[in-house]
Amino acid sequence: MPRVPRMVVTDPGQKAAYHVISRTALDGLPFGKVEKDELVRIIQTFSSVYCVDVLGFAIMGNHFHLLVEVSSCDMISDDEVRRRFQVLYGEEAVFPEGRLKEYRERFCSLSAYVKDIKQRFSCFFNKRKKRKGTLWGERFKSVIVEQGKTLIHCLAYIDLNAVRAGIVKRPEDYRWCSIGYHIQTGNKDGFLSSDLGTPDFGVDDDSTQIRTYREYLYHAGAIEKRGKARISKRVLDEETVRGFEMNRVRRLRYRSRYFTDSGIIGSRAFVETRYETFKDRFQTTREKIPQRVNGIEGMYSLKRLTEA
């Protein structure tokens, strides 16, 4: 039986929002910390190539969610197509001018975007586990999402995955979801769209957006769902008293994982010097660059050997 064509919005001059879900074909929960970190990195990589804005994500033990806005083809200039081509293939790559239309359509294609993510991660996973064969189950699902309240409700649903699964008590405790990424990294490299789906609430500045969204998120997570965990009344009451603000001390606590998850941490000069000493032990040929620890002035980190 032939596949039903995927519903894709083609309205000119507009972005379309989609909720994407894809599950592994493997039993159990095959994605651990290293796999989840790598899948986030791969999503970041291809999100800089494709004409998408990532509003939210959640990487779970056997599936992932993405909430993205995809630009229509007429919203991308010829020069932007060429730039994205070089992001994908390198600055030395020569752009094939005769295929300009083809690459414009590709970089605005939801299917091509998700396909590249899944294929790149499959190669990583199979090599790491020394296996062959299919990793993903049936083709990914995509739901067209209306802007406004529907969009922020979908974002909250995604960010509450780890809470509903009973993994964490607070959604930002889970670093492989969008609210966790916002709080724990300060939205490092601007990976996620900054509006958090909150324009419908009349919110502009970033800090107010985070607070407004967290208030919405916590109230949504406290609603009881049959067979699912929820945010407890105690936790909701604590956040309500705090006004759903993330002060400097709390942000620092969330970012303290750098002290245990990093391979080297300190000033940039210190990290670079130590990296040169142990460079041959890293499992990658790519040069590692110290990453700034957001929220802690002058501190940089480098991943552990097993995650490099």
Q: What is the CATH number of the domain that holds 138?
A: 3.30.70.1290
Whole domain around residue 269: which residue ranges? 261-307
Point out the domain boundary residue: 145, 180, 200.
145
pLDDT at 52: 97
pLDDT, tens digit, 9 for 90 and up, residues 257-274: 555 566 677 788 878 887
Confidence of residue 172 (pLDDT cuts 50, 70, 90): very high
User: Do residues 91 and 140 both lie within one domain?
Assistant: yes
User: Do residues 20 and 136 both lie within one domain?
Assistant: yes
Confidence of residue 294 (pLDDT cuts 50, 70, 90): low
Confidence of residue 173 (pLDDT cuts 50, 70, 90): very high
pLDDT at 305: 42
Q: Residue 163 domain-assigned?
A: yes
HEC-encoded secondary structure of the chain? CCCCCCCCCCCCCCEEEEEEEEEECCCCCCCCHHHHHHHHHHHHHHHCCCCEEEEEEEECCCEEEEEEEEECHHHCCHHHHHHHHHHHHCCCCCCCHHHHHHHHHHHCCHHHHHHHHHHHHHHHHHHHHCCCCCCECCCCEEEEECCCHHHHHHHHHHHCHHHHCCCCCCHHHCCCEHHHHHHHHCCHHHCECCCCCCHHHCCCCHHHHHHHHHHHHHHHHCCCCCCCCCCCHHHHHHHHHCCCCCCHHHHHHHHHHHHHHEEEEECHHHHHHHHHHHHHHCCCCCCCCCEECCCCCCCEEEECHHHC
Q: Residue 47 domain-assigned?
A: yes
Q: Residue 252 domain-assigned?
A: no
Q: Residue 256 domain-assigned?
A: no
For the cut 50, the answer to whether the pLDDT of residue 197 exceeds it is yes
For the cut 70, the answer to whether the pLDDT of residue 201 exceeds it is no
Distance between CA atoms of residues 239 and 215, nearest Å = 8
User: Do residues 139 and 174 both lie within one domain?
Assistant: no
Q: Residue 253 domain-assigned?
A: no
User: Do residues 158 and 298 both lie within one domain?
Assistant: no
Distance between CA atoms of residues 186 and 293, nearest Å = 9
pLDDT, tens digit, 9 for 90 and up, residues 207-253: 788 889 999 999 999 999 888 999 999 999 999 998 888 776 676 66
User: Do residues 140 and 151 both lie within one domain?
Assistant: no
pLDDT at 306: 43
Comparing 148 with 257, which gets the higher pLDDT? 148
Point out the domain boundary residue: 98, 127, 145.
145
Comparing 229 with 186, which gets the higher pLDDT? 229
Distance between CA atoms of residues 136 and 271, nearest Å = 37
Q: Residue 54 domain-assigned?
A: yes
Lowest mean pLDDT among 20-29, 228-237, 276-285: 276-285
Lowest mean pLDDT among 3-12, 98-107, 240-249: 3-12
Q: Which among 144, 145, 176 has a CA at the least distance from the CA of 159?
A: 176
Provide the domain count of the chain: 3
Kindly report the number of other CB atoms within 10 A of residue 166's CB atom.
Answer: 10
User: Do residues 47 and 134 both lie within one domain?
Assistant: yes
Distance between CA atoms of residues 152 and 307, nearest Å = 33
- Find the helix packing angle between 149-159 and 178-185, rounded to 10°: 80
Q: Residue 251 domain-assigned?
A: no
Q: What is the pTM of this model?
A: 0.81
Specify the residue for token string 């690459």. 103
Residues of the chain with pLDDT > 70, as a percent, come to 85
pLDDT at 46: 97
User: Do residues 49 and 83 both lie within one domain?
Assistant: yes
For the cut 90, the answer to whether the pLDDT of residue 92 exceeds it is yes
Q: Residue 159 domain-assigned?
A: yes
User: Do residues 1 and 98 both lie within one domain?
Assistant: yes
User: Do residues 25 and 134 both lie within one domain?
Assistant: yes
pLDDT at 1: 45
User: Do residues 64 and 2 both lie within one domain?
Assistant: yes
User: Do residues 232 and 209 both lie within one domain?
Assistant: yes
Comparing 179 with 263, which gets the higher pLDDT? 179
User: Do residues 154 and 239 both lie within one domain?
Assistant: yes
Point out the domain boundary residue: 145, 164, 187.
145
Lowest mean pLDDT among 61-65, 267-271, 290-294: 290-294
By DSSP bridging, strand 63-71 and strand 141-145 are unpaired
